[in-house]
Amino acid sequence: MVTIQLESISKSFGATKVINNLSLEINDKEFLVFLGPSGCGKTTTLRCVAGLESIDEGKILVDGKTINDIPPQKRDVAMVFQNYALYPFMTVRDNLSFPLKLRGVSRDVIEKKVQQVSELLRIQVLLERKPKQLSGGEQQRVALGRALIRDPKIFLMDEPLSNLDAKLRVETRTEIKRLQRELGITTIFVTHDQAEAMALADRIAVLDKGVVQQIGSPNEIYHKPETTMVAQFMGSPAMNMITGTYDSSTQDVISIKISNSESYSWQRKETQDIKSSYKGEVLVGFRPEDTSFRSGPGDDGIPAEIYVSEPVGTHTILTLKVGEKLVKAFAPSDASPKIGERGSVSVKDGHVHLFSIDGKRVA
């Protein structure tokens, strides 16, 4: 069993606090993803777990024991980076064997382990090649193999897929997920790609400015974002967000301000419970996929006009002009929207997210 606990850890570089009193627990065999914008402290947190950076405050515990003072080579942690860092003059076989040779493992055992790992990663046919004779995806598989070969307690991955092209990225992602499940190694994976985080994680920890904004399953994070930062970071295109007003005591009416002089109101038919009674200014969030456009005059919905239409194959992304705001909506791929076409926009019942002006979820 391998659990990791980060207890109120902080880390500064000079005057800049990069990790700010961060606490979280990673369960045995869990695949946890750190997700967040560039510079939010993901890599630094991972390097602190690996022991490559020291922490200024707090504790890091593995299986309940503090590891703050244990050097990296004794932490039994394997790390895979964005650049594969293979030894260029060694064959794949030697690259894989190297971590075991360093530990004085016997030749027979090394041979057996190389065989096992190369079967697992399907790189048997590459064993006698040098790194420069491999594609990016193959090099990354070898790097994974080299990390796995010594049966580490913990697997840390820092954007390991970023150097791969889009297709290979998705394929290797699938391989990593299968491998992690099969081996059951407690894993932390860093990415700034929300789709990658959703696809891989048991739980996602969304970080911003060195602070955990939210931690939860991919579905929780996507469907019930606790802050506007999380709401707009998850999903592509990002969630629409318009200021408005909301008063939970007056028949649940939401009003959005679509220009300086115009507002549009509708009755809230949400099924989610509101956290507490609320009255005042809000940020009204709704995802493009929960938003639709109907052309022509309609009795319901907010008047809108098509500003841009972008077919992406599975559907078409519409940018709609609503008052002075631009709102994204999805249309079916067989629709033929025209720029300038007028109609109305509506949001699926139960899919409106309300946030206070300081960005905290209200409902």
Which of 4, 24, 26, 36 is the binder for ligand ATP (CB under 6 A)? 36
235 is an interface residue for ligand ATP by CB under 6 A: no
Of the candidate spans 41-49, 71-79, 265-273, 314-322, the one that interacts with ligand ATP by CB under 6 A turns out to be 41-49
Retrieve residue 302's tokens.
Answer: 């907010």
In degrees and rounded to multiples of 5, residue 260 shows phi and psi of: -55, -35
43 is an interface residue for ligand ATP by CB under 6 A: yes
Nearer to ligand ATP, 35 or 302 (CB): 35
Which of 6, 18, 48, 302 is the binder for ligand ATP (CB under 6 A)? 18
Shortest separation between residue 33's beta carbon and ligand ATP, angstroms: 13
Which of 7, 39, 175, 211 is the binder for ligand ATP (CB under 6 A)? 39
Q: Which residues between 60 and 99 bind ligand ATP (CB under 6 A)?
A: none
CA distance 166 to 153: 30
Shortest separation between residue 12's beta carbon and ligand ATP, angstroms: 9
Nearer to ligand ATP, 42 or 287 (CB): 42
51 is an interface residue for ligand ATP by CB under 6 A: no
Please count the other Cβ atoms lying within 10 Å of the Cβ belonging to residue 215: 19
Considering CB under 6 A, how many residues would be counted as binding ligand ATP?
11
H/E stretch holding 332? strand 325-332
Which of 2, 24, 35, 41 is the binder for ligand ATP (CB under 6 A)? 41
DSSP category for residue 273: P
CA distance 168 to 138: 10
Q: Which residues between 136 and 195 bind ligand ATP (CB under 6 A)?
A: 192
38 is an interface residue for ligand ATP by CB under 6 A: yes
CA distances from 220 to 85, 174, 198, 216, 226 (A): 36, 22, 10, 6, 9
* Order of strands, sheet of 31-35, starting from the edge strand that comes earlier in the sequence: 77-80, 154-158, 186-191, 31-35, 203-208, 211-216
Shortest separation between residue 201's beta carbon and ligand ATP, angstroms: 16
Using the CB atoms, write b or e for 28-42: b if 16+ within 10 Å: ebbbbbbbbeeebbb
Which of 1, 13, 64, 313 is the binder for ligand ATP (CB under 6 A)? 13
Q: Which amino acid is at 245?
A: T
Residue numbers at the binding site for ligand ATP (CB under 6 A): 13, 18, 36, 38-44, 192
